[in-house]
Amino acid sequence: MTPGDMQGFIFGAPHRYCQGPGMIDRLGEVLAPLGASTLVVVDGFVLDLLGARIAVSCAKTGVTPAIRAFDGEITYPAIDALIAGLEGQRPDAAVGIGGGKALDAAKAVALKLGLPVVTVPTIASNDSPTSAAIAMYDDAHTMIAVDRLHRSPEAVVVDTALIAAAPVRFLLAGIGDALSKKFEADGCLAGTGVTPFGTRPGLTGVAIADACYRTLRRHGAAGVAAARAGKVTADLEAVVEATLLMSGLGFENGGLSLAHSLTRGLVKVRGARDAPHGDQIAWALLVQLAAEGRDDAFIRDVIGFHRELGLPFTLAALGMPDATAAEIAEIADWTMTAPHLRNLAAPVDAAVIAAAIKRLETLAGHA
């Protein structure tokens, strides 16, 4: 099917999503139906921590893992090197375990070799584990492409005990990345844009994005408190499900909009360029709401939620204090280069975006 020029819509999702405390010990059960030989790409840090448990779980179901530590950048040569290390042996599946890099490395190998891929995120800092997207970089750590798997991940395995044990700033970033998805899907549906599958959004994706937002508003504060205490609670489970599953399904099937477009500018400018993606999106959502002309009370309510959780709602909090008009114009100009700008009820231009940023800075100061 050719994206963008078809009637109807595509809905895509992982074949399985497994979440709960201790879930990593059931990895072997997830992998066994895919075949006996598996390439397992693991963060070095995570390999030290979990290598033995991964091996035991695989051994229980007769899966033979070829385990590779991966700590570098996701470049095409790095992926070629991982494949060369297989010495001509073609595994039945690829698994990525750890933060975003190991997962994207496994996805990139899977894309190149035509393998099913299983993602096992040990932090919840964004929704990439659920999606088909692979962020590719050059050696200077600049993103050069977003490749896409032909099939969504075969399975996503999320051990909430590991998520709870990780530094809470990762979960906060994940919440920031997830909160915007309702408003981005609504914008895509109201506008004329398409989802990452290349079609207009279906109502299912839009509904999931809405559920994502409502779940985070309801369980966010208590879930973050649980994560700070290192405890797995029902609130934390809800927050992780919203952050990894609902957010990923929401954007792939509902579409992205102005919030994600703003990262085009944020990755270029002083200070903000070093902020985590999810922190950038937390702030960018508020700019989208301002650009859409939502009333002050609505935006102040969302700012209040950001304040309660510790999410950024000013440029200063993103690492860009005392932003000048020229810097704000630079963010707005780069934003206009994004492909998601048709995904809004009313079109915006750089002047509207710059005005929205200034409006947010004013509201945030008086929230």
Binding flag, residue 104, Zn ion (CB under 5 A) = no
> Which pair of structure tokens corresponds to residue 158?
């999320």
- Name which of 57 and 263 has its Cβ closer to Zn ion: 263
Least distance in angstroms from the C-beta of 80 to Zn ion: 27
Least distance in angstroms from the C-beta of 131 to Zn ion: 9
Helix (H, G, I), strand (E, B) or coil at 124: coil
Window of 148-156, 171-179, 328-336, 358-366 that interacts with Zn ion by CB under 5 A = 171-179
> Which pair of structure tokens corresponds to residue 221?
């504060």
Window of 51-59, 138-146, 164-172, 176-184 that interacts with Zn ion by CB under 5 A = 176-184
- Name which of 81 and 146 has its Cβ closer to Zn ion: 146
- Please, which residues have CB within 8 angstroms of residue 27's CB and are 6 or more apart in sequence? 54, 57, 58, 95, 118, 120, 157
91 vs 137: CA distance, rounded Å: 25
Window of 91-99, 105-113, 173-181, 266-274 that interacts with Zn ion by CB under 5 A = 173-181
Binding mask 109-148 for Zn ion (x = CB under 5 A): ----------------------------------------
Window of 65-73, 100-108, 159-167, 175-183 that interacts with Zn ion by CB under 5 A = 175-183
Binding flag, residue 177, Zn ion (CB under 5 A) = yes
How far is it between the farthest Cα atoms of the chain? 62
Do 356 and 328 contact (CB within 8 A), yes or no?
Answer: no
C-alpha gyration radius of the chain: 20
Binding flag, residue 159, Zn ion (CB under 5 A) = no
352 bridge partner residues? none
66 bridge partner residues? 39
Least distance in angstroms from the C-beta of 176 to Zn ion: 9
- Name which of 50 and 269 has its Cβ closer to Zn ion: 269
E-strand spans in the chain? Answer: 16-20, 37-42, 64-69, 93-98, 117-121, 133-137, 143-148, 155-159
Size of the site for Zn ion (CB under 5 A): 1
Least distance in angstroms from the C-beta of 313 to Zn ion: 17
Please identify the residue of the shown chain whose CB is closest to the bound Zn ion: 177
Window of 29-37, 53-61, 169-177, 287-295 that interacts with Zn ion by CB under 5 A = 169-177
Least distance in angstroms from the C-beta of 121 to Zn ion: 14
Whole-number Cα distances in Å, 92 to 67, 89, 116: 14, 10, 8
- Please, which residues have CB within 8 angstroms of residue 171's CB and are 6 or more apart in sequence? 123, 124, 125, 163, 223, 224, 227, 239, 240, 243
What does the binding site for Zn ion look like in residue numbers (CB under 5 A)? 177
